[in-house]
């Protein structure tokens, strides 16, 4: 199937005269193609022309550059030159120790997702990161070192061969991704599958007006195996790393999240203050959690609501993910919610509870409702968790 698709696409590319293929016939001058478009290293003069074009017209429409300026470069070449060398926000020079560490950590999480990694490294390009990684890999191979440092443990991937890069996950005692973020391990590990790398998209990919109750499409595409995602029994032994977090702490965390979900918390939209962040590390294995499943909840809200406090955000959402929470094993009845306002005094409780429930009904009307679907484990779980609380 895949092969066939490739054949079709290649055939299509061959008749696409406008594609930026710089291939030249044997014997020809390899510095330009049949359209007299130059290839190879850029000169300072060419850089000036391109920079001037961007200054006047902004980025995009790269194919217009040639017509507009006479610069003998195809659009793709212009775009590449701008994004990798000319844009003003680029950092130059060797990677700092922090950057190196971050690349390694990100690679452990994402594999060869250079562009995704670049999003987490301001001023660095995917190309730089890729070159750094490949160089580093060669060096380590030469001296007989493994791909990752000892504190980032691989999860064996049965599909890997010598040529395929293995997929890895953080070890339980790792400090998380990067210095500016501390993505909790359970966030990632909950989405790790034995044979499939899984990438949690950074919050920058989540539109400002998206907030809860939909599993992001890109996440589904990346996992490719949502069924396996949900099969706890297939989590390999080496992923099981228990910590000493008492179960009641986890339950409390869930309750706190749910409380905010229902009654509003202090969280700002971009991941606000959190007492939860002071918790010791949670178990990295989903099997170790006292809940059956985990899930991502994303909700669409009107732009105007975006910064209102009652919109739930994960307490641990610190730039990577809206929220992940762990549904309870036993479905809870709606009346349980009156007990979730621990801070409210008894006198206010009922009125406040009723009022907020009405508010929440309004909020929930914005949610994308998920129908029960036994064939889709994510939808199925989503439905089973949400529905008892907020029947339509």
φ, ψ of residue 388 in degrees (nearest 5): -60, -30
Residue with tokens 């409702």: 369
Distance in Å, CB of 133 to DNA, minimum: 9
202 binds DNA (CB under 7 A): no
62 binds DNA (CB under 7 A): yes
140 binds DNA (CB under 7 A): no
Identified binder of DNA from the candidate list 99, 120, 121, 132, rule CB under 7 A: 132
Distance in Å, CB of 63 to DNA, minimum: 4
Residue with tokens 């949900």: 230
Question: Is the Cβ of residue 18 or residue 392 nearer to DNA in the bound state?
Answer: 18
Q: Whole-angstrom Cα distance, residue 132 to residue 112? A: 12
Distance in Å, CB of 326 to DNA, minimum: 29
Question: Could you tell me if residue 303 is left (phi over 0), alpha (psi between -120 and 50 degrees) or otherwise beta?
Answer: alpha
Question: 386, 370 in Cβ contact below 8 A?
Answer: yes
Report the residue count for the chain. 392
Binders of DNA among residues 73 to 102 (CB under 7 A) are 75-77, 79-81, 83-85, 94
Identified binder of DNA from the candidate list 96, 134, 277, 307, rule CB under 7 A: 134
Q: Whole-angstrom Cα distance, residue 167 to residue 192? A: 10
Identified binder of DNA from the candidate list 99, 105, 120, 126, rule CB under 7 A: 126
Q: Which of 274, 294, 275 is nearest to 284 (CA)?
A: 294
**Structure tokens belonging to residue 360:** 């929440």
Identified binder of DNA from the candidate list 28, 48, 57, 139, rule CB under 7 A: 139
Identified binder of DNA from the candidate list 99, 105, 120, 128, rule CB under 7 A: 128
Distance in Å, CB of 313 to DNA, minimum: 25
Q: Which of 209, 374, 203, 241 is nearest to 308 (CA)?
A: 209
141 binds DNA (CB under 7 A): no
Q: How far is CA 66 from CA 35, 36, 69, 171, in A?
A: 11, 11, 5, 50
Binders of DNA among residues 146 to 185 (CB under 7 A) are none
- DSSP letters spanning 170-196: --TTS--STTT----HHHHHTT-BTTB
135 binds DNA (CB under 7 A): yes
Q: State the Cα angle at 195 between 193 and 196, rounded to 5°.
A: 65
Q: Which of 232, 265, 230, 288 is nearest to 356 (CA)?
A: 265
Q: Of 39-47, 146-154, 317-325, 363-371, which segment contacts DNA by CB under 7 A?
A: 39-47
Q: Whole-angstrom Cα distance, residue 96 to residue 273? A: 29
* 141 beta partners: none
Residue with tokens 């001296």: 143
Question: Is the Cβ of residue 60 or residue 334 nearer to DNA in the bound state?
Answer: 60
Distance in Å, CB of 375 to DNA, minimum: 22
Distance in Å, CB of 91 to DNA, minimum: 12
Question: Is the Cβ of residue 163 or residue 233 nearer to DNA in the bound state?
Answer: 163
Which string of x and - marks every residue 215-254 that binds DNA (by CB under 7 A)? ---x------------------------------------
Distance in Å, CB of 94 to DNA, minimum: 6
Question: 282, 184 in Cβ contact below 8 A?
Answer: yes
Q: Which of 59, 215, 201 is nearest to 120 (CA)?
A: 201
Distance in Å, CB of 196 to DNA, minimum: 15
Q: Of 138-146, 284-292, 361-369, 370-378, which segment contacts DNA by CB under 7 A?
A: 138-146
Q: Of 112-120, 250-258, 306-314, 379-387, which segment contacts DNA by CB under 7 A?
A: 112-120
Identified binder of DNA from the candidate list 18, 56, 374, 392, rule CB under 7 A: 18
Q: Whole-angstrom Cα distance, residue 246 to residue 249? A: 5
Residues near DNA, by CB under 7 A: 2, 5-6, 9-10, 13, 16, 18-24, 30, 33, 38-42, 60-64, 75-77, 79-81, 83-85, 94, 112-116, 126-128, 130-132, 134-135, 138-139, 142, 218
């Amino acid at each position: 199937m895949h092969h066939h698709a490739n054949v079709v696409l290649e055939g299509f590319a061959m008749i696409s005269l406008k594609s930026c293929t710089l291939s030249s016939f044997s014997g020809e001058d390899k510095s330009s193609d049949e359209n007299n478009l130059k290839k190879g290293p850029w000169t300072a003069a060419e850089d000036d022309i391109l920079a001037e074009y961007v200054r006047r017209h902004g980025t995009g429409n790269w194919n217009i550059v040639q017509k507009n300026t006479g610069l003998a470069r195809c659009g793709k070449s212009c775009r590449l030159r701008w994004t990798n060398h000319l844009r003003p926000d680029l950092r130059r020079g060797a990677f700092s120790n922090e950057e190196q560490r971050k690349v390694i950590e990100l690679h452990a999480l994402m594999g060869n997702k250079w562009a995704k990694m670049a999003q987490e490294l301001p001023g660095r390009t995917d190309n730089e990161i890729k070159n750094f990684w490949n160089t580093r890999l060669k060096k380590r191979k030469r001296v007989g070192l493994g791909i990752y440092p000892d504190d980032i443990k691989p999860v064996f991937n049965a599909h890997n061969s010598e040529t395929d890069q293995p997929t890895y996950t953080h070890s339980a005692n790792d400090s998380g991704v990067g210095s500016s973020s501390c993505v909790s391990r359970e966030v990632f590990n909950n989405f790790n599958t034995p044979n499939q790398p899984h990438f949690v998209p950074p919050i920058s990919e989540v539109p400002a007006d998206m907030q809860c109750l939909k599993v992001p499409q890109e996440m589904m595409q990346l996992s490719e195996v949502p069924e396996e995602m949900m099969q706890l029994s297939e989590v390999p032994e080496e992923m099981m790393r228990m910590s000493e977090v008492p179960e009641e702490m986890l339950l409390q965390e869930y309750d706190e999240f749910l409380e905010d979900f229902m009654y509003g918390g202090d969280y700002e939209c971009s991941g606000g203050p959190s007492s939860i962040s002071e918790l010791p590390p949670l178990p990295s294995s989903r099997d170790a959690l006292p809940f059956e499943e985990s899930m991502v909840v994303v909700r669409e809200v009107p732009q105007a609501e975006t910064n209102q406090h009652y919109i739930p955000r994960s307490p641990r959402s610190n730039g990577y993910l809206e929220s992940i929470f762990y549904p309870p094993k036993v479905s809870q009845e709606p009346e349980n919610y009156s007990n979730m306002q621990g801070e409210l005094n008894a006198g206010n409780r009922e009125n406040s509870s009723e009022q907020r429930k009405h508010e929440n009904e309004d909020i929930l009307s914005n949610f994308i409702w998920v129908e029960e679907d036994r064939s889709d484990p994510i939808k199925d779980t989503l439905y089973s968790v949400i529905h008892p609380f907020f029947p339509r």
